[in-house]
Every structure is written in structure tokens, then in C-alpha cells.
Amino acid sequence: MALHPEQLLSNEVTRRKFIAVAAGTAGAMFIKPSLVRGSAANSAVRVGLLGCGGRGTEDATNLVDTGGARVVALGDLFQDQLDAARKHFDDMQQGKGYAALDASQLFVGPDAYHRIAASKEVDAIVIATPPYYHPHHLEAVVAAGKHVYLEKPVAVDVPGALKVIEIGKRAENKLSLDVGFQIRDCPPFVELVNRIHNGALGTIACGEAHYLTGYIDRPAWPNASPVERRLRNWVHDRTLSGDIIVEQNIHVIDICNWILKDHPVKASATGGRQGRPADDGDCYGNYNVVFNYPNNVDVTFSSTQFAKGWWDVTERFFGTKGTSQSPYTGPLGIWGDEPWQYGPSTKPAADAQSFSVTGNFTSNLELADSEKKKGFVESITTGKFHNQTAKGTESALSCIMARTAAYTGREVTWEEILKSKEVWDPKIDLSKLR
């Protein structure tokens, strides 16, 4: 049964009801028994990577290194990206005694997503394509009965986000469907949030958060067509990426939702392209948002994607018993009546440019990827399937609400954003891509 936006629009709709609707089951789906435990012989879970850029390669690498999986298939729009990923995984998996990738499991071009989803050699697929394509690619992979690790954001517009909810219903209790919010599995953040939920801050009055980072430089691709440049440099393209607040800043807003156990009910915002090069696409360079959460808790949020010589990603919450701070690097903990601080990390903070592009976490987040990937693989091998579409969609809609407020220059409510029928369309015909 289709999930209509009006089902979520009543003033009485709570977050619990939102999650319950998202987790509802649909019609029966036949899933091969072998997929419950990876391959038929209970060997390493066989992974396909769809989208062989920096973040996708990092995801799949972590599944091999820390999750005990094996990459057996690759798919990408561009041959050079697929070739680079093939060399990377052949080199790293050789040391584990795995055979080189079979040429029959290398898929390139506009239909690569369909062919990798149909492969009988694959148990699970990492989707790390440009975010605009996430709902479409997710639908194909779930229809093929494959477990999914879907990079954030789940979608760039409201219709796409609601489509992901519907796809998640089809996978419920049949497949694992994880969304790439690694921080929710990172031990110091998990401990911090558990303490907050157990009352360490008392009554939360307000919060502040920011995602201040540098410019993501991309090649010029002088010999590429304008459409190819858009696809290769999709992080600069508003429609393909969702803009910086949906594509990158979503991590911080997801943590705010996690800590407050709810989504914001309204947002007001400003933003613009100040600070960015004039010829790098159409994404904003900065956002400034006030999110209003239930119980009249306001959270201010700011971001940049052009800062030079500086980066910092942090959430702070202020309560009647104490204050919490949860930066990517630096002092993390609670100060006040029930103090607790995370001990020093064993690795230095990542270079800001590398971090922004690949999400190669260090410092306070050094265990984020490994714990997330272990949990994903374990959910497959044990049959205790995850379904993270509700949280993933809730955070995407929170960011889309703030983006809409910035674009329109007015306050936007949760009920209003759920009614949106606006479909973002990059107007790209992949079949004509040269």
C-alpha cells in the first residue's frame, strides 16, 4: 500500500507514529535462504559496490577490513573509476587470499545498477552513487533481494524520501537496509547519547551545532561534456547532491535528532553562495538555521563549505544539570552535575580535505566506520536484519525543511514539508552520455 504524505500530516502525529509507519510491513517477498548468512557456504558476505568514488570505496574497504566481507562486484557510470576501484580491491584482497575480481562482475555505464543488482554472485550492495539516484537504485537492489548499505542522504527531495520509506517497508524483516550514519555506532557518541537519555543533562533547554569545513576541490575535466562534468563533480551540483545541508551537514542534524529523540517541527534559515568559486556549480557555501524541536527546544546550526585553514564539526546541548559537547575532534563529554569525558583518541584528526571527500574518520570518530560495518555484516550473517530507512528519511526531511526555509526566506514547518510534491530533476539523459 502506498504511503501518502497526508498520513503523516495530522497535528497528533508523533515521531513514534512516524517510525511505526516507516517500519510497517508490505507484501511477501521471497528471499533466498543463502542470503541470510551471506553465501551458501557461510563464507564471507559477498559485496557489490555501486558507485566507485572516494566514499563508496571507503565503505566497501571497511566492509572487507573490519566486517569480514569480500568485494566481488563493481559498478560505475565511468570506466576509469571502475578501473581504479578494481585495482584497489584486487590489491587489498590478495593479502586475504581472495581471487581477483572476475571480469564478468564489472559493470559500467547507465545500466550498471541494474546488472549488479541482478548478479547471482552478490549478497549485499553498497550504494554510493550521486544522492539524486539513491531512491531509484535502492528500489532496484531491494527488488533483487539484496541487502543494502545506502549512503546518506536517502534522497534529495520529499517525493524521493517518501519513496525510500515505501521501499523500506518491502525490506522489513527480510533484508538488512542500513543508512550511512556511522556516528550512531561510534562508541564515545553512543555512550554520550545514552547518558543524555538517562538524564545527565537534566531538562534540555537549547542547543547549538555547526559543520564548518573547507572547499571540496574537484578536477576540471577539460575534455568532458558539461553533463559528464556535472556527474563527475556531483558534490557541486544542487540537484544531484541535495546541496551541502542535505549531503554533508546531515550528519550533524542526524545527531541532533538522535539526542533529542525527535525531528524538528519547524525551521527558519538563511544561506548563500558567498565564499565559493563562481564556476563550481550551484550549491550554497553556507547555511544558518534555527531548528525548533518539541518542548520548544531551539537548536541553532551553521555551516560552511569554503573555510580556509579551519574546520570543526560539533554539537552542544545545554540542560538544567549540565552541558554536552560532541566534536569530531577535541574534548567530548558532559560537564556539570554528572560529568563524563571520553578519553584521548589514539589517532590524530584527519586532514580536513581528505575527511570531507572520503569520510575517512579519525580522532573521536576513529571507530565509527568499523563498528558500523561490523554491525551491518553481523545483521546479515545472523539474520537479525536492520532497517534504518525511518531514521535516514527523518534526517533527510529535517535537512530538506531547513534548505527550503533558506531558499524561500521564510519559516517552514514539518507538516508543510511533508506535503511537498516538488520533484528535483537534473534533466540528464544518461543514455546519451558520451
Question: Each residue of 86-140: pLDDT tens digit?
Answer: 999 999 999 999 999 999 999 999 999 999 999 999 999 999 999 999 999 999 9
Q: What percentage of the chain has pLDDT greater than the value 90?
A: 84
pLDDT at 354: 53
Q: In this predicted model, which residue has the larger pLDDT, 348 or 330?
A: 330
The pTM score is: 0.89
Question: Each residue of 144-184: pLDDT tens digit?
Answer: 999 999 999 999 999 999 999 999 999 999 999 999 999 99
Please check whether residue 85 lies inside any domain of the structure. yes
Q: Are residues 244 and 295 in the same domain?
A: yes
Q: Are residues 15 and 164 in the same domain?
A: yes
Give the separation between CA 380 and CA 410, rounded to whole angstroms.
Answer: 44
**DSSP for 368-381?**
HHHHHHHHHHHHHH
pLDDT at 344: 60
CATH number at residue 54: 3.40.50.720
Q: Are residues 404 and 288 in the same domain?
A: yes
Look at residue 316 and tell me whether its pLDDT is greater than 80: yes
CATH number at residue 402: 3.30.360.10
pLDDT at 434: 65
Look at residue 10 and tell me whether its pLDDT is greater than 80: no
Q: Are residues 63 and 192 in the same domain?
A: no
Q: Are residues 59 and 174 in the same domain?
A: yes
Q: Are residues 85 and 177 in the same domain?
A: yes
Give the separation between CA 415 and CA 87, rounded to whole angstroms.
Answer: 48
Listed in order, strand segments (DSSP E) in 34-146 are 46-50, 70-76, 106-108, 124-127
pLDDT at 1: 35
Please check whether residue 192 lies inside any domain of the structure. yes
Residue 78 domain boundaries? 5-27+35-183+379-388
Q: Are residues 221 and 83 in the same domain?
A: no
The answer to whether 314 touches 220, Cβ cutoff 8 Å, is: no
Q: Are residues 117 and 245 in the same domain?
A: no
List Cβ neighbours of 54 (8 Å cut-off, separation of 6 or more): 357, 358
pLDDT at 343: 83
- For 278-293, letters b (16+ CB in 10 Å) and e give eebbebbbbbbbbbbb
Give the separation between CA 235 and CA 245, rounded to whole angstroms.
Answer: 11
Q: Are residues 197 and 107 in the same domain?
A: no
Q: Are residues 200 and 307 in the same domain?
A: yes
pLDDT at 63: 97
Please check whether residue 423 lies inside any domain of the structure. no
Q: Are residues 136 and 91 in the same domain?
A: yes
Please check whether residue 222 lies inside any domain of the structure. yes
Q: Are residues 76 and 166 in the same domain?
A: yes
Listed in order, strand segments (DSSP E) in 306-398 are 312-319, 322-325, 333-336, 340-341
Please check whether residue 153 lies inside any domain of the structure. yes
